């Protein structure tokens, strides 16, 4: 954990003392819904990934209320969510469970509490960096950055393994090799970047994380 | 309509050929049976008997031809009841539609058995009506319609108000010096109207003031009921004030709303009961009342900053130490009390530890409202509470599966409701018997019990209504909640089952309306539910009575006392006309005008039982008119086919079945008897509560009699049939016919 991130975490701990529920309500997207969970467990039963992650949404919400801050924010659960929305459709209390899970993931990332090498997080970060560069995703550079995220040697191996698919995509004009030079971007890319920066500023202010 | 003065009985049979009866049956054959075997004086048929013309034909015969007994051979007695109501004559119904043409298999191959079945029903109906007389009723001009309400809490006050609003005078008896009961101790009550989000004032004081000011309500404070004698329409009630003065009131019906007490918190030392800063919900109400909207303070004067509610404290306990049941209101009450804190100061931590949060009615909205206010709900089971300056609640978190401890300034235990329903009749009977034989301790206990008693009924069955379970008062729990086994006395509120204030008020309103109905019925000489139209009542031929007391003991409603010569003394206003006494009587001296050992016995005998070589078995079905008979009708309406070898006789209750009918039937060559009644036991559905149970008990002993006759015990079978069992009942009949087929024909054939 970098020093800045560690500081953000300890500031949050100091600010909310033992009241993790309040922290979630104020700082996590749709976190104000957590208190409305009635612990029926329909989300846990509906999740196709149910058996494969540490804590079901039901448990996550209970842990938040019980003040289990570190366990929640370091759980792998919110990173395993595939956004199938089964839980949201079925929740009798209409909690936006998928959004809360993503909100928790985002918050844990912001505080630097996510385990190094968490694949979902890594992809998300690469995706975000790629897309804000020019306002649209460059599939070629995004794929390459994925291949090479574990070092150069592994990157070459990954690229070789995928070359058949890559060539087929080029042949059918689904992939333009020239995109490696930067590719086409949206018209006002600095405008997009300014807009995103402003949005982040507003959101941080609202969450008290400015 | 002119009512003719019947000088002699004149019997008439009317046969309908509508609804396909004329196509499927030979009406001429039925007429012949009615004439030659039924010996009917008038026999007519009509293509549409239940229309205005058909009904008028019957009415004209009654008015002009002096017809006194009418046999209608058409549809089920449950159909067209309005058209076929002739209040001045005795009426029997032969069920040819639901009972024959709708259930016998189609096709010419079945014409013979179908016609035989129909002819038997005509024979039976003619035989029945000949033994019937028109019930005379027993109008009581002097009957009181005043409603006595015992208990001046929220339930009692609501019942009193409901009765007054309906135009009836009310006598309201309250043992304390003030109306209001438990509601007086409460700060607020759970929300009872939209949007069900905020606790509301109880309104008890306003209701008490309105009743006290109402000239139609006579309120007795500091008073108890020391004796209740009589029956619906003529309850003579003695009300004793604390001062010793006794007032007497004549009442038509009674609502008992004697409430509850809270389960003593001292019995829960493991949950901190008795320790400082551990209170029950009543204790919290007192603290909230003292705070009067300000910060809630503990007994030591410190403001409460954190509070934990422990649900199911001493409840739902299967170890046998505490209350085994759920009191129903406590989850809602804890939600309400948690919002007392949150409304005053949202920063106060309020945690509710629950196992199952049960919020009936609109309580779910209230639960959501409290969650929105920040009350924390934790699914867990508390194992230990320590009181004192800083309380601690240790519990098992049932979601996270781990032990946890939360500190709190104050702990509230959600203890349950203990009913205040008076004396347990089993204990009463045992004590009274011992006291009679001179046991001094029993005598002391008996007078102590008399003090506990709420109604002090002078019935031979004991001073209060029977208790159903866990000390809660009697109630026909599944189907008719306010009905009890003491006719004209209705149970309302938490003495009947645990409940919250809103439920208690609904309960009280229902009970008040039932009480009014009972008083009105008594005045008209009619039965109370479920035979509310019935004018007949049991009569005993006392010269034949052996004083065996079976009728007095078995009557589920305590309707029969004993006179000074130890003969049964019928209080007909208490009677529900189930006929359990008639079924009980070993010498068959008890009968109703329109229902007796003869009306059924003659039907059994009227059936044409074929000889052995005809290979047509005969099976008698005695079906309870409340559920089993409608289920059989339902099978007909759904055109479900069942064997044409059965002959069905509806009975008022399986409890009214006299074993002589069964031995007569089997003795005269019937191959088997099916008895169909309501579910008995804990979840009974018997409309007369104990009737079906009594029947099963009696019939369990018939095996020896059958053996003595040289018959297999399988020739008599009992079944529990629900009103929805149309398909099942048809299947059961066919299964039984197949079983009898294997058993072979009855050896009694030809001796009948």
Contacts of B400 in chain A (CB under 8 A): 59, 62-63, 66, 68
Does the pLDDT of residue B6 top 50, yes or no? no
Interface probe for B, chosen from A66, A67, A72, A77 (most Cβ of B below 10 Å), is A66
Nearest to B217 by CA among B313, B274, B282, B149: B149
Does the pLDDT of residue B373 top 50, yes or no? yes
What tokens appear for B525 in the block?
């000489």
Question: Does the residue A37 lie in any domain?
Answer: yes
The residues on B that touch A, with CB distances below 8 Å, are 357, 367-368, 371-372, 374, 376-379, 397, 399-400, 404
Question: Does the residue A131 lie in any domain?
Answer: yes
Contacts of A62 in chain B (CB under 8 A): 378-379, 397, 399-400
Q: Show which of A63, A97, A115 is a domain's final residue.
A: A115
Domain of A184, in residue numbers: 119-201
Tell whether A75 and A179 lie within a shared domain: no
Contacts of B367 in chain A (CB under 8 A): 38
Tell whether A127 and A109 lie within a shared domain: no
Interface probe for A, chosen from B378, B398, B399, B403 (most Cβ of A below 10 Å), is B399
pLDDT tens-digit series, residues B191-243: 999 999 999 999 999 999 999 999 999 999 999 999 999 999 999 999 999 99
Chain A to chain B, count of Cβ pairs less than 8 Å apart? 33
Does the pLDDT of residue A171 top 50, yes or no? yes
Tell whether A107 and A129 lie within a shared domain: no
Tell whether A139 and A110 lie within a shared domain: no
Count CB atoms within 10 A of the CB of residue A165: 11
The closest CB to that of A35, out of B357, B374, B400, belongs to B374
pLDDT at A5: 67
Q: Name, in order, each residue with C-beta under 8 angstroms of B678's C-beta and a sequence gap of 6 or more.
A: B624, B626, B627, B628, B654, B684, B685, B686, B687, B691, B692, B720, B721, B722
| Residue B84, phi-psi category: left (phi > 0), alpha (psi -120 to 50), beta (remainder) | alpha
Residue with tokens 């008038």: B42
The closest CB to that of B379, out of A21, A39, A68, belongs to A39
As for the ipTM of the complex, it is 0.86
Is A62 within 8 Å of B371 when comparing Cβ atoms? Answer: no
Question: Does the residue A210 lie in any domain?
Answer: no
3-class DSSP string for A69-130: HHHHHCCCHHHHCCCCCHHHHHCCCCCCHHHHHHHHHHHHHHCCCCCCCCHHHHHHHHHHHH
Q: Helix A139-147 crosses helix A152-161 at what angle (to 10 degrees)?
A: 120
Place B597 in a pLDDT band, splitting at 50, 70 and 90: very high
Question: Does the residue A181 lie in any domain?
Answer: yes
Question: Does the residue A146 lie in any domain?
Answer: yes
pLDDT tens-digit series, residues B477-529: 788 888 999 999 999 999 999 999 999 999 999 999 999 999 999 999 999 88
pLDDT at A2: 61
Whether B303 contacts B375, CB under 8 Å: no
Whether B280 contacts B337, CB under 8 Å: no
Question: Does the residue A89 lie in any domain?
Answer: yes
pLDDT tens-digit series, residues B400-456: 999 999 999 999 999 999 999 999 999 999 999 999 999 999 999 999 999 999 999
How far, in whole angstroms, is CA B189 from its chain's centroid?
30
Q: Tell me how far apart the alpha carbons of residues B505 and B715 are, in angstroms, rounded to a whole number.
A: 51
Is B399 within 8 Å of A93 when comparing Cβ atoms? Answer: no
Contacts of B404 in chain A (CB under 8 A): 66
Is A59 within 8 Å of B399 when comparing Cβ atoms? Answer: yes
pLDDT at B4: 45
Tell whether A125 and A170 lie within a shared domain: yes
Tell whether A30 and A88 lie within a shared domain: yes
Question: Does the residue A95 lie in any domain?
Answer: yes
Burial label for B722, CB within 10 Å (0-12, 13-18, 19+), is middle
Tell whether A38 and A107 lie within a shared domain: yes
CA distance B368 to chain A (A): 7
Q: Which structural domains are found in chain B, ordered by start?
A: 1-134 (3.40.50), 147-259+465-523 (3.50.50.60), 264-416 (3.50.50.60), 539-591 (3.30.70.20), 609-752 (3.40.50)
Tell whether A89 and A137 lie within a shared domain: no
pLDDT at B3: 46
Residue with tokens 């208790």: B467
Tell whether A111 and A7 lie within a shared domain: yes
Q: Read off the CATH number of the domain in which A95 is found.
A: 1.10.1060
CA distance B196 to chain A (A): 16
Q: Show which of A92, A115, A138 is a domain's final residue.
A: A115
Q: Average pLDDT, whole number, for chain B? A: 94
Question: Does the residue A208 lie in any domain?
Answer: no
Q: What is the pTM of this model?
A: 0.89
B263 DSSP 8-state letter: P
Domain count for chain A: 2
3-class DSSP string for A124-176: HHHHHHHHHHHCCCCHHHHHHHHHHHHCHHHHHHHHHHCHHHHHHHHHCCCCC
pLDDT at B1: 39
Q: Show which of A115, A141, A166 is a domain's final residue.
A: A115
Tell whether A123 and A108 lie within a shared domain: no
The residues on A that touch B, with CB distances below 8 Å, are 21, 35-36, 38-39, 58-59, 62-63, 65-66, 68, 93
Burial label for B335, CB within 10 Å (0-12, 13-18, 19+), is buried
Tell whether A90 and A24 lie within a shared domain: yes
Q: Assign A23 to helix, strand or coil.
A: helix
Contacts of A21 in chain B (CB under 8 A): 376
Interface probe for B, chosen from A39, A63, A64 (most Cβ of B below 10 Å), is A39
Is B377 within 8 Å of A59 when comparing Cβ atoms? Answer: no
Q: What is the mean pLDDT of residues B161-177?
A: 97
Tell whether A66 and A142 lie within a shared domain: no
């Amino acid at each position: 954990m970098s020093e800045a991130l560690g500081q953000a975490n300890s500031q949050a701990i100091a600010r909310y003392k033992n009241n993790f529920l309040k922290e979630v309500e104020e700082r996590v997207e749709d976190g104000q819904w957590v208190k409305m969970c009635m612990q029926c467990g329909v989300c846990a039963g509906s999740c196709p990934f149910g058996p494969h992650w540490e804590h079901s949404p039901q448990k996550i919400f209970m842990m938040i209320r019980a003040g289990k801050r570190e366990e929640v924010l370091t759980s792998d659960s919110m990173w395993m969510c595939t956004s199938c929305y089964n839980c949201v459709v079925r929740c009798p209390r209409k909690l936006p469970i998928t959004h809360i899970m993503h909100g928790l993931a985002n918050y844990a990332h912001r505080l630097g509490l996510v385990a190094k090498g968490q694949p979902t997080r890594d992809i998300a970060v690469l995706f975000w960096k790629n897309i804000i560069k020019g306002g649209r995703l460059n599939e070629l550079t995004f794929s390459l950055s994925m291949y090479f995220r574990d070092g150069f040697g592994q990157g070459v191996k990954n690229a070789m393994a995928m070359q058949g698919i890559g060539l087929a995509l080029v042949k059918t004009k689904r992939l333009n090799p020239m995109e490696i030079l930067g590719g086409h971007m949206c018209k006002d890319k600095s405008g997009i970047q300014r807009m995103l920066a402003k949005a982040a500023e507003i959101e941080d202010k609202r969450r008290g994380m400015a | 309509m002119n009512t003719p003065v019947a000088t002699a009985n004149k019997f008439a049979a009317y046969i309908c050929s509508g609804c396909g009866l004329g196509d499927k049956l030979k009406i001429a054959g039925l007429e012949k049976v009615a004439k030659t075997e039924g010996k009917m004086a008038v026999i007519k048929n009509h293509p549409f008997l239940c229309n205005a013309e058909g009904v008028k034909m019957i009415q004209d015969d009654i008015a002009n031809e002096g017809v006194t007994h009418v046999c209608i051979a058409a549809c089920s007695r449950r159909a067209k009841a309005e058209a076929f109501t002739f209040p001045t004559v005795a009426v029997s119904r032969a069920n040819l539609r639901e009972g024959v043409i709708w259930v016998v298999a189609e096709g010419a191959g079945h014409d013979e058995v179908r016609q035989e079945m129909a002819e038997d029903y005509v024979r039976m109906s003619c035989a029945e009506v000949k033994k019937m007389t028109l019930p005379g009723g027993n109008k009581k001009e002097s009957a009181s319609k005043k409603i006595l309400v015992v208990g001046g809490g929220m339930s009692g006050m609501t019942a009193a108000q409901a009765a007054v609003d309906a135009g009836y005078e009310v006598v309201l008896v309250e043992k304390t010096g003030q109306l209001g009961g438990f509601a007086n101790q409460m700060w607020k009550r759970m929300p009872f109207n939209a949007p069900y989000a905020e606790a509301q004032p109880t309104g008890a004081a306003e209701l008490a003031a309105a009743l006290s000011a109402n000239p139609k309500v006579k309120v007795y404070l500091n008073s108890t009921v020391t004796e209740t004698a009589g029956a619906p329409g003529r309850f003579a009630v003695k009300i004793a004030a604390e001062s010793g003065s006794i007032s007497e009131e004549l009442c038509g019906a009674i609502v008992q709303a004697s409430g509850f007490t809270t389960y003593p918190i001292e019995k829960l030392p493991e949950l901190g009961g008795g320790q400082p800063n551990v209170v029950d919900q009543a204790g919290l109400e007192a603290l909230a009342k003292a705070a009067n909207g300000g910060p809630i303070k503990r007994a030591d004067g410190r403001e409460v900053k954190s509070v934990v509610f422990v649900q199911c404290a001493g409840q739902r306990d299967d170890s046998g130490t505490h209350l085994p049941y759920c009191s129903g209101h406590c989850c809602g009450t804890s939600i309400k009390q948690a919002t007392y804190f949150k409304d005053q100061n949202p920063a106060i931590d309020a945690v509710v530890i629950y196992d199952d949060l049960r919020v009936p009615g609109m309580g779910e909205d209230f639960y959501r409202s409290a969650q929105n206010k920040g009350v924390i709900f934790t699914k867990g089971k508390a194992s230990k509470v320590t009181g004192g300056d800083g309380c601690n609640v240790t519990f098992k978190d049932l979601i996270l599966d781990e032990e946890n401890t939360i500190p709190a300034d104050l702990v509230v235990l959600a203890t349950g409701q203990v009913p205040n329903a008076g004396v347990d009749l089993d204990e009463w009977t045992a004590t009274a018997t011992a006291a009679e034989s001179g046991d001094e301790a029993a005598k002391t206990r008996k007078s102590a019990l008399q003090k506990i008693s709420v109604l002090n009924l002078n019935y031979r069955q004991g001073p209060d209504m029977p208790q159903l379970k866990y000390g809660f008062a009697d109630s026909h729990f599944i189907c008719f909640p306010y009905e009890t086994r003491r006719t004209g006395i209705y149970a309302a509120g938490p003495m009947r089952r645990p409940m919250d204030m809103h439920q208690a008020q609904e309960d009280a309103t229902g009970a008040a309306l039932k009480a009014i109905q009972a008083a009105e019925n008594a005045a008209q000489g009619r039965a109370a539910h479920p035979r509310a139209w019935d004018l007949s009542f049991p009569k005993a031929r006392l010269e034949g009575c052996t004083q065996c007391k079976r009728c007095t003991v078995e009557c589920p409603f305590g309707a029969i006392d004993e006179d000074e010569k130890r003969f049964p003394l019928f209080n007909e206003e208490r009677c529900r006309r189930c006929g359990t006494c008639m079924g009980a009587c070993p010498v068959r001296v008890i009968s109703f005008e329109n229902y007796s050992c003869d009306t059924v016995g003659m039907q059994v005998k009227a059936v044409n039982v074929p000889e052995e070589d005809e290979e047509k078995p005969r099976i008698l079905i005695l079906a309870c008119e409340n559920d089993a008979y409608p289920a059989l009708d339902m099978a007909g309406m759904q055109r479900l086919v069942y064997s044409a070898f059965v002959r069905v006789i509806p009975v008022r209750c399986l409890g009214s079945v006299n074993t002589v009918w069964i031995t007569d039937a089997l003795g005269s060559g019937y191959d088997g008897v099916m008895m169909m009644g309501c579910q008995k036991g804990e979840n009974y559905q018997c409309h007369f509560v104990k009737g079906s149970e009594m029947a099963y008990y009696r019939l369990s002993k018939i095996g020896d009699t059958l053996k003595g006759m040289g018959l297999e015990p399988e020739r008599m079978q009992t079944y529990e049939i629900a009103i929805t069992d149309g398909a099942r009942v048809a299947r059961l009949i066919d299964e039984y016919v197949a079983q009898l087929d294997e058993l072979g024909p009855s050896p009694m054939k030809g001796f009948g």
